[in-house]
Structure 1
Amino acid sequence: MKLSRNMLHWRDLLFELVSRDLKVRYQRSAIGLGWSLMKPLAQLAIFATVFSSILPLDIKNYTTFVFTGVLVWAWFSSSLTSAAVSIVGSREMVRRPGFPVRLLPALTILSQGVHFILALPLLFVSSWIQIGPPPISALALPALILAQFVFTLAICNILASLHVFFRDIEHLVGITMMLGFYVTPVFYRPIDANQDYWFLTAFNPMAWILEGYRAIFVDHTWPPLWIYGYVTMVSVPLLLFGHWYFDRVSNRFVDEL
């Protein structure tokens, strides 16, 4: 019973914190949340122009293909970048007695996830125009979103904890996300097993997750079941380790801040 009350309290608190974060971020902005669509749309325009007309990659339905990659990667990348500084950047809340500090990394993922959800209708429209009406396999979308959330949370818990003690983490995450964008098949096909550097996509969890999204939006088929199995095998150990490490060091956060 107590656990249920805590869960409800945390849910309501997360909702309030996400709402506050979005209001503060877009306060006095003429476009407001519309800015969240500007970066992925700009990237889409660049990639669609360059790799469809100037240096064609010969990928069918490329606009939808690359739009899927850009949106999914943007949620992942922005979540990790924000989560790394989520504890250090929330000193007042961390120092407040009784505040569940554990919620801060999840808060950043949910906040960035709002932008992802707002952009999904545009992705559905792109898929509809290029390929056809939304398929029945779109019902698998919530499961994919959950799989990406859990995988992202597992990493964010670790990064947020480490950054309290090692302030270089923020810069390392920025560099890693920049490199990760190019070694993840965001704007190109996954590397075939008979080609050099095939392991960059074969053992890349974000490449697996992207394949699931593209199965829905580009191929109009059900995501392969192995995606959920592989992502779970990676996410669960990371999540358990992150939970253990967070609990171990969280009592030192106030002193370090």
Structure 2
Amino acid sequence: MQIIKEIYAYREMIFSLVRRDLKGRYKGSVLGFMWTFINPLLQLGVYTLVFSIIMRNDIEDYYLFLFVALVPWIFFSTSVTGGSHCIIAQQDMVKKIYFPREVLPIAFVTSQFVNMILSFIVIFFVIIISGRGFNFIALLYLPIIMIAEYLLALSAAMLTSAITVYLRDIEYILGIISMAWQFLTPIMYPVEMVPERLRPLFNLNPMTPIAVAYRDILYYKQVPQLSTLVQGVGIGLLVLAIGIFVFEKLKRHFAEEL
């Protein structure tokens, strides 16, 4: 509770860092903030070309099947890999002034989360163009899944950012881990393709229920199963608790290590 109170007291600092990141992300580029929408569309085009034309499959409207899970994955992957550097990137601030160090990963993940929400405008547009429509009752569950993923991404960013201060190689290893993690998450394929005997192990992946829930809501237009919701939220809270615990232990010597 003390940590929460302290973070709340520094909420203006978090908002300021988020605004700075969002404003400076595409500063100097010709298209500017439009890249927020162009980036996911370009990735969608590449994956659709590969898996719908070159490596064909029988999934109906595969581009949409992929897109509704790909955008959330980009948010999570960026939070894990980019978040690992958020303490080191602000090392001058960490050395010179006092503030809850948790502010830095929170601000970074929140800015990525805002970016994902804006990208969902593109998702909704693509769904409307496709003619598949929406199940508005299922859409009511979308904020729950988004919050669960936010908690999971925040916990991962807290873990990686704290460990990277002491072990800089983590920043580079995470790129490989993220690539492998994507292929072990049902982003480009349905869960049903995983052999039955491997599914219990496969379901230990914390992003599996998140990806399944997004696809249930936006592609299959159905309310996610209760077990999927409980698993997604429960794993998010559990990993967040671990992330906070590790971060609290390691943050005491950030200034010396930096």
Q: Please say whether Structure 1 and Structure 2 have the same fold, judged by a TM-score greater than 0.5.
A: yes
Deviates more, 1:143-152 or 1:179-188: 179-188
**What is the CA–CA distance in structure 1 between the aligned matches of 2:197 and 2:103, rounded to whole Å?**
41
Structure 1 unaligned runs (5+)? Answer: none
**What is the CA–CA distance in structure 2 between the aligned matches of 1:227 and 1:83, rounded to whole Å?**
26
Deviates more, 1:128-137 or 1:78-87: 128-137
Shift of 1:161: 0.8
1:157·1:243 contact (CA, 8 Å) conserved in 2?
yes
Q: Which residue of 1 aligns with 2:120?
A: 120
Q: Which residue of 1 aligns with 2:206?
A: 205
Shift of 1:168: 0.8
1:65·1:218 contact (CA, 8 Å) conserved in 2?
yes
RMSD: 2.2
1:94·1:254 contact (CA, 8 Å) conserved in 2?
yes
**2:40 maps to amino acid:** P
Shift of 1:162: 0.5
**What is the CA–CA distance in structure 1 between the aligned matches of 2:86 and 2:254, rounded to whole Å?**
12
Shift of 1:24: 2.2
Q: Which residue of 1 aligns with 2:188?
A: 187
Q: Kindly indicate whether residue 105 of structure 2 is the aligned counterpart of residue 105 of structure 1.
A: yes
> Deviations along 1:147-202, whole A, 9 cap, x unmatched?
00111112211111110100111011111011112221211112445457545643
Q: Kindly indicate whether residue 83 of structure 2 is the aligned counterpart of residue 83 of structure 1.
A: yes
Say which SS state the counterpart of residue 10 (structure 2) adopts.
helix
Deviates more, 1:160-169 or 1:107-116: 107-116
Percent of aligned pairs with the same residue?
A: 31
Give the length in aligned residue pairs: 256
Change (3 A) 1:200 1:128: farther
Say which SS state the counterpart of residue 20 (structure 1) adopts.
helix
> Deviations along 1:112-137, whole A, 9 cap, x unmatched?
11221111011112222331245221
Shift of 1:10: 2.9
Q: Which residue of 1 aligns with 2:246?
A: 245
Question: Could you state the TM-score of these two structures normalised by the residue count of structure 1?
Answer: 0.91
Say which SS state the counterpart of residue 95 (structure 1) adopts.
helix
2:127·2:133 contact (CA, 8 Å) conserved in 1?
yes
> Deviations along 1:186-236, whole A, 9 cap, x unmatched?
111124454575456432221210111111110111122212221233333
2:134·2:218 contact (CA, 8 Å) conserved in 1?
no
Deviates more, 1:73-82 or 1:54-63: 54-63
- Which contiguous aligned blocks of 4+ residues in structure 1 show a shift greater than 3 angstroms? 2-9, 191-201
What is the correspondence of 1:157-176 to structure 2 with a 5 Å cutoff? 157-176=158-177
2:134·2:221 contact (CA, 8 Å) conserved in 1?
no
**What is the CA–CA distance in structure 2 between the aligned matches of 1:194 and 1:119, rounded to whole Å?**
33
